[in-house]
Amino acid sequence: MPSLKKRILVLFASGSVLSSRRNTSIFFVDSTQDIDKWLAEIPEVSLLADIHPLYVVGESDQFTDRTVEQITSFLNENHDNYDGFVVLVRADRLVRTAVIAEFLLQGFGKPIIFTGSRRVPEKISVRAIAQIIKAGGLGLRSNLINAVQIALSKDFPVIGIMFGNKLTKPTRAEVSDFQAINLFKSVDNTYLGKVDFGISLNRKTHVSADRKTYAHLSRVVAVTNFESLPLLLASDMKQDRFKVLLVRLRENEMLSVDAVIELRKRFEIIMEFNERRINDQRGVIGICGMTWDAAQIKVFWAHAVAKSAEEFSDLMARNIVDEQIIV
């Protein structure tokens, strides 16, 4: 008799450091051969759903934006085969990865829940294991169980980050406190859902959209900050590889006229990000009102999509995946 349980695809892309049920050791997925043993340590997820694992990269593999494009490609290819999706990614990569997914898989129509371990295996000593467990373990077990339950939710096709007891929209997420249960917080204090005695989903936060999928981000966007700008200006390096420059500014910082003139010789498009306000500068496109992760990925995405400078400016002005925040 066929299973009546919903089908969930779990992608392993780092973030798999798990403490054993007896809290005596840790292990993680570094190859496809590790997955069965890993899943056996969390039997609850197989009771909840028909789990199908897919190995992408291990803990020791290189992880770049190209890796994330591979993840989104797998998700897109398997859209019709599963009811929901869970992606395991190491905590320090989690927000950027999930934000990329929001831009590349717009209107996906099914839940994609990102979660993972906050610990990096090579940084955990044998002596530290007992201390970690005493302080509340690695947290991945409950994160995964909650993520699978949310991925099973009917009519809640969001891309979200499940960590601790909060489900956060990626373009609203930023790191809060590494030691806290909720490693991430929402910058506008709105959440897709919360876990208390059960899982409560905020369906009002879901914005439906037509499905649009994109394969990759731009490869010719350079990113820097105000402090590093003098080094860039002093260098005689020709920017043949990069077409766009994105500069992160603090609230009271501003590019000088001379700096803009010099940068315009090297880049086709100059952009500046200021979290609170847009500086009105000729020859510069200003963006604000979103997180730094969202701003970066929006630029990378828009430049890959746009066929002209005018279209690029138009895309940057639009609220593409509800990334713009009114505080």
In the chain, where are the structural domains located? 7-212, 219-317
pLDDT in tens, 298-325: 999 999 999 999 999 999 999 999 999 8
106-154 per-position pLDDT tens digit: 999 999 999 998 877 665 555 556 555 554 455 788 899 999 999 999 8
**pTM (predicted TM-score):** 0.93
Q: Does domain 7-212 have CATH number 3.40.50.1170?
A: yes
Instruction: Give the class (CATH, top level) of 219-317.
Output: alpha beta
7-212 matches 219-317 in fold: yes
Task: Note the helical H segments in 248-308.
Answer: 257-266, 292-305
Burial class (CB in 10 A: 0-12, 13-18, 19+), 312: buried
Residue 71 CB-density burial (10 A; 0-12 exposed, 13-18 middle, 19+ buried): buried
